Amino acid sequence: MEKTKIILDCDPGHDDAVAITLAANSDKIDLLGITVVAGNQTLEKTQINARNVCQWLGVDVPVYAGCGQPMVREKMIAGDIHGETGLDGPVFPPLTKELEKEHAVDFIVKTLMESDGDITMVTTGPMTNLAMAMRMEPAIIPKIKQIVLMGGAYTNGNVTPAAEFNIIADADAAYVCFTSGRPITMMGLDVTRKVLCYPEIVDRMEKIGNKASKLFADLMRFFCKTQKEVFGWEGGPLHDPVTIAWLIDPSVVTLKPMHVDIDIRSVQSYGRTNCDFFGYGGQEPTANVAIDIDAAKFWDIVEAGLRRYSEA
Ligand code: RIB
Ligand code: CA
């Protein structure tokens, strides 16, 4: 079966790191490149984190640094969740994997323009890089097969009651992407909050006993601690890997077409993904929004993904 070609745009970030782990060694996915954006931490830190994860796993995927701040507003980071480095917890050996010289936005434009329109853009951080690429070269837009993002919510946010981090961190970029006309699949907090990485999940994965499972355990023990401190979760919601799990096995998530507007105008609800769940507004749906997830199947996909790596 042909692999799904993807570019993974991310802001590692503990959950981004698990998304990289699943995407980089899957028999269903061809990971063409990892493009990095500021988000969970500054760009200087998120690009180092992406390189460290690839080096630790021994995966030969190019890493490109992209935009270090949002298109319009001031930068937001999530150090309270991901720590000072953006990937606190694991201890990595000296970093030798090089950062690609090409800017991430240039890589996205070049790769899409040279493609047959068969590349999926996966974003698990603020959508700045993809939006900037669309603005820089609008000819890439019809070349994007689909956009699969972790972001938004049709219920409550996690930065404000209205807004989720990846969207509010650069709502203007999200607006550009959501109005691009390309097929969008949105994995919001509504489903990612149903895959809480409880301690028993961490123990289950750690027993696999390879380098990927050790990384998972070291990541999750830090991530779950801060998620408990900040939000009171008994297990950290494993947001970003839901995008990859869906590409590996679409049956893991239930989708519902909805018209989605990104609020870039209001103050109190700035950054909200206004999802017309009931279609009451009569507008054409603009995204397939995740409304449920088979948590057991999700964890099986994660475990299978970790097992694909060789012994430590
Ligand atoms: O709101 C959760 C999202 O924001 C995740 O992608 C997390 O990594 C942060 O980027
Ligand atoms: Ca992320």
Q: How far is the CA of 166 from the centre of ligand 1 (A)?
A: 6
Domain assignment of residue 53, yes or no: yes
* Owning domain of residue 125: 4-195+238-291
Q: CB–CB of 186/152 below 8 Å?
A: yes
Nearest to 285 by CA among 262, 310, 256, 306: 256
Q: CB–CB of 24/308 below 8 Å?
A: no
Residue with tokens 């550009």: 176
Nearest to 310 by CA among 179, 211, 217: 211
Domain assignment of residue 281, yes or no: yes
Q: Which helix (H) or strand (E) holds 121?
A: strand 119-123
Residue with tokens 């070269």: 137
Q: What interhelical angle do 241-248 and 295-307 show, nearest 10?
A: 90
Counting the structural domains of the chain, the total is 1
Q: What is the CATH number of the domain that holds 175?
A: 3.90.245.10
Question: Counting atoms of ligand 1 from 1, which one is nearest the CA of 14?
Answer: 8
Active site residues: 11
Q: How far is the CA of 270 from the centre of ligand 2 (A)?
A: 19
In short, whether 190's Cβ falls inside 6 Å of ligand 1 is: no
Q: What is the pLDDT along the chain (312 residues), one digit of tens a residue?
A: 899 999 999 999 999 999 999 999 999 999 999 999 999 999 999 999 999 999 999 999 999 999 999 999 998 888 788 999 999 999 999 999 999 999 999 999 999 999 999 999 999 999 999 999 999 999 999 999 999 999 999 999 999 999 999 999 999 999 999 999 999 999 999 999 999 999 999 999 999 999 999 999 999 999 999 989 988 988 999 999 999 999 999 999 999 999 999 999 999 999 999 999 999 999 999 999 999 999 999 999 999 999 999 875
Sort 94 into a burial class: Cβ within 10 Å, 0-12 / 13-18 / 19+: exposed
In short, whether 239's Cβ falls inside 6 Å of ligand 1 is: yes
Domain assignment of residue 201, yes or no: no
CA torsion angle 86 299 125 257 (round to 10): -160
Domain assignment of residue 63, yes or no: yes
